[in-house]
Structure 1
Amino acid sequence: MLGQRGSFQLMKSLNRSIILNHIRLSGAISRADIAKETTLTPPTVSNIVKELLDTKLVVEISEGVSSGGRKPTLLAINSREFHLIGLDIGPKYLRSIATDLNGNILYSKTTEIPTPITNDRLLDFIIHQIEQILMLYTKERDQFIGIGVGMHGVVNVDKGESLYAPSLNLRNIPIKNKLEDKFGLTVFVENDARVMALAELWFGKGTTSENSITVNIGRGIGAGIIINGKLFYGDHFIAGEIGHMTIDIGGIKCSCGNYGCLEAIAGGPAIAERVKRELSIGKKSIITELVKDNFDLITGKLVHEAAKSGDILCIDILKETGRYIGIGLTNLIHIINPGKIILTGGVSKASDFLLESIIDTMEQRVLTASAKNTEIVVSEFEDYGTAIGAITLILEHLFSPASN
C-alpha cells in the first residue's frame, strides 16, 4: 500500500524523485520531454512512469501538441488522490491539518495541549489527534503518504526526536519512532521555525529566493535558514536559534539563563512585561481599562490591540521592539546575507507598528547600500503556517532529488 513506509522508500529513490519533481514543476509533461530534460534514458523514464501510474501518484491527463508524429500523452501529479498530515506542536496548542499534495488544507483543528504534561502524555495526545483525522478518512486510509511534525525547541532531525521543548519543559521525546510504530506511515520531525521556512519556500513568499531566512517571532524567537534552496541545520541542530543572540549584554535574564537575549526583549511575553513595568511606574494607557487593573492579563496581542486604538504607550513599546528586532536582523544580514527575510509568528501580526522601526534600524546599521535593501516581508500564512511547513517535509523527500 502507498501509505506504508516501504512504498514511500520506493517512490523517493533518486530517479523517481527526479521524474516526480519534473512532472510537478511542469504541471503537465510528456515522457519524451522528461527524458530530454533530465538526461534519463527513454526506457528508464517509461519504466518509472509505469510504476508511478500503478501507484496512482501520477496520472495521464491529455494529449499534447504533435511535432509531426502521434500526439504525446501528458503526465501530471495526481495531487488530490493522496493526503498528508501536518502537526504543529507549539508551546500551548497542537494544530493538526490534512492536505493534498498541493498543500491545500482539507481538515484543520487547534487543540490546547493538556497540563500538566509528560513525554508519554504528549505522545498519547498527538496520537489521538492523528486518529481523529484518520477516522474521518477511513475509506481513504491508504491514500495517506506520511506525517510531518513541526516541534518547537531543539530537534534531532536524524532521529526525529525532540531533544528539548522549553515551553513544555520536556526532553528526549521519541516522536518519529512512536508515530511510525503506531501508524505505519513515514514520519519526519523538524524544528517549527525551520518548517515555517519550508512552507515559505514551497508555497509562500520564499519561492523566488534561493537564500532566505524566515524569522518566527512569538513567545520565543527562532529562524529557518534557506541556503541555495535547502534548509541549513548546523552541526548540532541549533542553527537559527537567533532568539538567544545577545542584543543587550546588560539586559534582563532570558529563560535560557543568559542575559539580554533577543527573545527576552522582543518576544511576545517580553512586550507584555515592558508594558507592565511602565504602568507600574505611573505611565497611562487604555490597556489598564482593558484588563480592569489586572496586569496579569496583559499579553503581546492585547498590546497590539491597544496600539491600534491609538494608545501612545503601546505604540512606543512596539516601535522599540521593532528596533530590537532590527538589530537582530542586521546581525543575520551580516552573517548570512540573505536575499529576503520573512517575518512570521504572533508578534509579526503587529507589523503595522514594527516594520518601519525594523527597516529604519537596519538602514542605519547594515554595512553596504545593497545589503540595506534586503527585502523584509511579512508572511501571509495564518495560524497553520507551521503545520503547512510540516507537510512540506514529506513533499521535499518525495520530490526533491537532493534529499535522497
Structure 2
Amino acid sequence: MGKDLLRGSFKLMKSINRSLILNIIREKGPISRADIAKLTKLTPPTVSSFVKELLEAEIVIERNLGESSGGRKPTLLTLSEDMFHVIGMDVGSQNIKTILTSITGKVIKKSIVPLPAQTTNETLLSLMIDSVSGILDHTKIDEEKIVGIGVGMHGIVDVEEGSSVFAPNLNLQDIPIKRVLEERFNMMVKVENDGRAMSLGELWFGNGAGIDSFVCINVGRGIGAGIIINGKLYHGSHFISGEIGHMIIDIDGPQCTCGNYGCLQTFASGPSIVEWVKKEMRLGHSSLLTTLTKGDLEKVTGELIYSSALEGDTLCKTALQQAGRYLGVGITNVIHTVNPRRIIIGGGVSNAGDLIMDNIIQTVNQRALTNPAKQTEIILSKFGDDATAMGAVALILAELFTSRNTESAVAH
C-alpha cells in the first residue's frame, strides 16, 4: 500500500459518522451491521454504505461468525489487525521502551534501550531514532502500514509543539521530539507527558474503559498522573496538570530533582524507596539485602527490595508500606481536588502489588473527607510497566479514530 492510499484511508476514517462506526467496531466487534445501526442510530442503508467503503479500504474485515434465528448467518465486522500498526515509546530517565502494536493494541514487538548516565538532547534523540529503526528492522511489517509514533515522555511536555519542555530526571530542556522523528520517519508523531499518556491508554483499552472520570498515577523513578474528566484528557493551561509527584508533602523534606523540598516523589518514587533502604542499612538495620548484594549497597534495587519483602524481610516490607502511606496521602489530596470515580496506579513501583496497595487504600480510608470519598476505587493498571508505552500507542489511535468535526478527545 502506497503513502497516498494510506493517507486516503486516514481521511476516510475522519468523518463524523465513519468515526462513530469505527469506534463501535473497535469497542464492540465482531459486530453486525444491524447492531451498528441500533447503537449509532444511523439508518441501515447509511451504515451499509460506510461499511462498504471501510471494507474496500481494508480498514474493516468481515467474519462469518454470527448466529441467526433462521436463514442466512449475519456477517460480523471487525477491525483489520494487519492494516495499520502503531509504535509507542516510553521515554523514562533510565531507558527507552518501544513497542509495536496492531490497531487493536496487541503488542507485536518490544525493545528496551538503556540511557547513558549523562544524556544530552542529541544523545536522547539519536537513541529514540535507533529504537524505532530497531523495531522496524526486526519486523516484517510494511513501514507504510505504520500509522505513527506516540511518545510518552516524563516531565513537562508542550503537546502542541510535540516537544519536551523540561525532563527533570534527565535534567534536559527543549527537546524537539516531534520535529526530529517526523523528519526522520515521515509519519505522524504525537508527544505527551507519560502520566497523561498512560491515562489515555487506560481509557482506550485498559482499566479506564467506560469510566468518565478517573486519575491514572504513574509511579516509577518519578510520579506523574493523567486526569480524565468527562471522558477527556485534561492538560491545564500550562501543560503541568497531573504533576502530583511535585505536590509538596513536607516543606522540610528532602530536596527533589525539581529544586523544591519535600515533594511526594522524594518519599514514594522508586529511587526514594531505594535510598531510604540504603540509609537504614548504613545505620545498621539488618536485611536479606546484605547477603544478596554481598554488602555492596550500590547493588540495592527496587526489584531486590520487592523480592526480599516477599521473603518476609522486615526492612523491605517497611520501606514499601511507608511508600504506600505517602502515596495514600498524595492520592487523598487528588481525591479532594478532582474527586474521580477511580484511581489507577501503574509504573514500576506498582509491581509491588498488595505490599504497597494495602497501605495506599488504608491511608485513603483514614484520611478522605467523606465515606463515599473513602471508598474511591483504587486499582492497579492493566499494563503495569508497559502502561506508558500503551498510552503512547493510544495517542495515535485517538488521532486516527476521532473525527476532527467532533468534540476533541483532549480538554484544556
What is the TM-score normalised by the length of structure 2? 0.89
Written as runs of structure 1 = structure 2, the 5 A alignment for 1:5-404 is: 7-31=9-33, 34-35=36-37, 37-40=39-42, 45-62=47-64, 74-137=76-139, 140-401=142-403, 402-403=407-408
Letter of the 1:197 partner, please give it.
Answer: S
Comparing 200-209 and 162-171, the one that deviates more: 200-209
Aligned length: 404
Q: Deviations over 1:252-297 (max 9, x none)?
A: 1111111111001111111122222223333222322322332232
CA distance in 2, matches of 1:275, 1:336: 33
Please say if residues 5 and 184 of structure 1, whose CA atoms lie closer than 8 Å, have aligned partners that are also in contact.
Answer: no
Return the alpha-carbon distance in structure 1 between the equivalents of residues 401 and 328 of structure 2: 36
- Aligned partners of 2:131 and 2:283: how far apart in 1? 46
Instruction: Pick which of 387-396 and 305-314 moved more.
Output: 305-314
Quote the Cα distance in structure 2 between the aligned partners of 1:67 and 1:76: 22
Alpha-carbon distance in 1 for matches of 2:161, 2:369: 40
- Residues 357/116 of structure 1: CA separation in 2 closer, same or farther (3 Å cut): closer
**CA contact under 8 A between 1:301 and 1:347: conserved in structure 2?**
no
Asked whether the 8 Å contact 1:57–1:78 carries over to 2, the reply is yes
Q: Deviations over 1:327-371 (max 9, x none)?
A: 111101111111111111121222332222222211111111111
Which consecutive unaligned segments of at least 5 residues does structure 1 have?
Answer: none
- Provide the secondary structure at the position in 1 that maps to 2:207: coil
Contact 2:346–2:385, Cα closer than 8 Å, also in 1? no
User: How many angstroms does 1:145 deviate by?
Assistant: 1.5
Deviates more, 1:57-66 or 1:203-212: 57-66
Residue deviations 1:69-121, cap 9 Å, x none?
A: 98765432212332111111111111111111121111111111245422222
- The 8 Å contact of residues 12 and 397 in structure 1, kept in 2 or not, is answered as no
SS of the aligned residue for 2:126 comes to helix
What is the CA-CA distance between 1:239 and the residue it aligns to? 0.7
3-state SS in 2 of match to 1:279: helix
Counterpart contact for 1:285–1:312, Cα < 8 Å: yes
CA apart distance, 1:222: 0.7
Deviations 1:152-208 (A, max 9, x none): 111111121111122222211111122222222111111111122122222222224
Amino acid paired to 1:203: F
Amino acid of the structure 2 residue aligned with 1:145: V
CA drift at 1:400: 3.5
Provide the aligned C-alpha RMSD in A. Answer: 2.6
Shift of 1:34: 4.0
The alpha-carbon distance between structure 1 residues 41 and 173, as it changes in their structure 2 partners (threshold 3 A), is farther
Q: CA deviation at 1:323?
A: 1.2
Distance in 1, Cα, partners of 2:349 & 2:141 = 41
Find the aligned partners of 1:298 and 1:65 in 2 and give their Cα distance.
Answer: 58
Whether the aligned pair in 1 keeps the contact of 2:26 and 2:104 (CA below 8 Å) is no
- Flag structure 2 segments of 5+ consecutive residues without an equivalent: none
Structure 1 residues 78 and 278 mapped into 2: Cα distance closer, same or farther (>3 Å)?
same
Distance 1:310 1:56, change over 3 A: same
Q: Distance in 2 between matches of 1:207 and 1:63?
A: 25
**How far apart are the structure 1 equivalents of 2:105 and 2:141?**
21
Secondary structure of the structure 2 residue equivalent to 1:79: coil
8 Å Cα contact 2:111/2:135 also seen in 1: no
SS of match in other structure, 2:307: helix
Q: 1:216 to 1:67 in 2, by over 3 A?
A: same
Aligned residue identity for 2:84: F
Distance 2:53 2:175 in 1: 37
Change (3 A) 1:61 1:304: closer
Question: Contact 1:396–1:403 at 8 Å: present in 2 too?
Answer: no
Q: Is the 8 A contact 1:4 1:185 kept in 2?
A: no
* Greater Cα offset, 66-75 or 17-26: 66-75
| Counterpart Cα distance in 1 of 2:58 and 2:216 | 34
The TM-score with structure 1 as length reference comes to 0.91
Percent of aligned pairs sharing the same letter = 52
